[in-house]
Every structure is written in C-alpha cells, then in structure tokens.
Amino acid sequence: MSFKIIDKAIHKRFFPHVFFWLFYVFFFGLIYGKYGNDYKWYFLESLCMLPFVMIATYGTIYGILPFYLKKRKLIFSVFLLVLLLFFVTLGERIFLRKLNSLPLTVDSIFGITFLYLLLETNFMIGIAFAIKIVKKWIEQQKEKLEMEKRALQTELNLLKAQLHPHFLFNTMNNLYALSLEKSSKTSEGIAKISALLRSVLYECNEIEISLQKEVNLIKNYIDLEKMRYGNRLNFQFNISGETSEKEIAPMMLFTFVENSFKHGSRNDPENPFIFIDLKISNTKTEFLIENSIPKNRVEKRNRAGGIGLQNVQKRLDILYSGKYQLEITQEKTKFKVYLGIEN
C-alpha cells in the first residue's frame, strides 16, 4: 500500500518537474543554438545553467512566495526576490566565464550577457510562478466547492430532520382521529402507519430514491386517508410514463399530497376533491395536484403550508437549482400546485 502511495506521489510531483526542466534545456538550447549555429554547445550550456535557474525558481515559489502569502510583506518579499536573482545571475555569469576560460573582470561580468541571463532566469521563474498560482487557485476552488457541498448537505440533513417529525405528527393525528371515531379500521390504520413510518425511516434517507418508491409512499398515505373519508372524497391519481427508471428526492411529491389533505380537503364538509396528475417523459417529470378549499377556510388557506411547503422549496433550491419550475396558485374553490423537474 505504501509503495502505491509513493508511486502516485512520484507521478504527481516528480515527472512534471522533470518535464519542466527538460523544456528549459531544449527551449534555450534551440534558441541559442540557432543563433550561434552550435546546438551542441548551447545545449551543454543550458544544462550547466540548470542548477542556477532551479535554485532561483524553487527559492521563489517555495520560499519567497509562501513567505509573502503568510506575512503579506510586499516590499521585503520583492527585496528578497531581487537579491536572489542578482546572486543567482552573478553565479551564472561567473560560471560561464570559467567554462569558456575567459578572464573575470567587472566589465565582462556585468555586461549585456548578464542582462540576458537575468531575463532568462526571470522567464522560467515567471512560468513556474504562474503554474503555482493557477494550482493554488484550483485548490482553493476545490476547497470552496467542497465547503459549499458540506454546507448544502448539512442544510439538507436539517431539512430532512425537520420533515420526518412533521410527517410523524400529521400521521399520528390520523391515527388519533380514527380512534376517536372508534372505527373498526383503527387496527388497519395502525398497520398502514407502521408501513409508512418504515418507508420514511429506512427508504427515504438517500439523496434520491426511485420515483416508484415515492409513488408507493403516496398511495399508502392516500389509503390511510381514505379510511376517514369513505366515499365522500372525489379522488383521482393519474400516472403516465415509466416511474421505475426515474429518481427523485424522497418525500418531495409526498409533501404536496399530505398538504392537500391537511389544509384543504380534510376540512371540507361538502364535496372535497383531490386530483393528482403525474407525467414522466425522457426530459421532464411533471406533477400537478389540485385540492378543494372549504369556503370557511379560504382566507386562512393563504397562510397554510407551514413547514411542509417551505421545506420543499428549500430542498428544491438545493437539489434542483435551475432545473425545476414550481407554481403554487390559489383560486376561489381550489388550491393548485405544479412542479416540473428536468431529468
């Protein structure tokens, strides 16, 4: 295992550096070789200059740059860079004079060749510096993205934690209502509530679940509600398209169904209705639900929804940002929700 880690580290750090310095040798060897018509000599000269340029480059990106980023002392950092470049270029010039068996004088050292060497070293430092800055920027962007993902996941987990107790509270109200009515269906209701809770606790902990599981959850909840309505509720649930091949955030559609019972039809003593239409295509999942509004609750209905609808809106923003359309409208006798999610 340790050998694999070392091997990855070699490929990640060692070889890019080797290619960088090979570029230096061949680039300046070819340029000066063409100018002086002696490629062999200038390739050799570039190799001899390599240690000096490496000292200047690594000294800058691993010494001066981190110092500046930590201390933010610009003038002192520039002073260190100038000092480093001066002595490195001086060393290059002296070494070249010795290599060519030429005398060392002040005029011969600090001539036009000194300037060329300084620019050559600066060129390589500039490339290495740019690469280092880009790498740091990419790392910062990755860290920023990771932090944003963690923040969104934390918020999503909080919303889920908020959603489950909200669902449990409403479900227990159903069971309580059945018990008050001394309904013979109370035991059946307990069984259905148990199945619902099992689905919520064990199947709805993923970011997305099969749309078929969401549909099954909705149908179980509807069966439970029908125990209280009997034949009084006008209910339709139409599904077109394949649900098993699509995925959706758990309890996303369910919340709208639950909301339609809790704040609308459940309080309608006359002719309550709930119409649900689910369409699945290759490009979009569309969900439309309409429910009746009791006449004596029209004004109050404006404030309805509470945690449920607010929760859905936040989850949609997190999971399907820029990929969904949510329209909630209230008419005189009905409340309508349309949700479209791009696949």
Q: What is the mean pLDDT of residues 230-243?
A: 85
Q: CA-to-CA distance for 232 and 261, rounded, in angstroms?
A: 13
Q: Mean of the per-residue pLDDT values for the chain? A: 78
Sheet holding 284-292, edge to edge: 234-240, 273-280, 284-292, 334-342, 324-330
pLDDT digits (tens, 9 = 90+) for 300-311: 444 444 556 777
> Which percentage of the chain shows pLDDT scores above 90?
15
Q: What is the mean pLDDT of residues 207-222?
A: 86
181/334: higher pLDDT: 334
pLDDT digits (tens, 9 = 90+) for 240-256: 999 888 998 888 898 88
pTM: 0.53
Contacts of 309 (CB under 8 A, 6+ apart): 255, 256, 259, 328
Instruction: Report domain extents, the chain.
Output: 2-144, 183-342
Most confidently predicted of 39-48, 95-104, 283-292: 283-292
Pick the CATH number of 183-342 from 3.40.50.300, 1.10.10.10, 3.40.50.10490, 3.30.565.10: 3.30.565.10
Q: 248 - beta bridge partners?
A: 209
Hey, CA dihedral for 310, 313, 316, 321, is it positive or negative?
negative
pLDDT digits (tens, 9 = 90+) for 150-175: 666 655 555 555 555 556 666 666 66
* Helix H or strand E encompassing 330: strand 324-330
Q: Given this model, what pLDDT does residue 3 score?
A: 45
Q: CA-to-CA distance for 299 and 314, rounded, in angstroms?
A: 25
With CA atoms as reference, report the closest residue to 337 among 283, 291, 273: 291
Per DSSP, 72 falls in state: -
Q: CA-to-CA distance for 19 and 17, rounded, in angstroms?
A: 5
Most confidently predicted of 3-12, 119-128, 203-212: 119-128
Q: CA-to-CA distance for 274 and 263, rounded, in angstroms?
A: 12
What are 325-328's contacts with CB under 8 Å, separation 24+?
A: none
Q: CA-to-CA distance for 265 and 229, rounded, in angstroms?
A: 10
With CA atoms as reference, report the closest residue to 200 among 224, 222, 216: 216
Q: Given this model, what pLDDT does residue 250 score?
A: 83
DSSP track, 169-206: HHHHHHHHHHHHTT-TTHHHHHHHHHHHHHHHHHHS-S
Would you say residue 272 has pLDDT above 90?
no
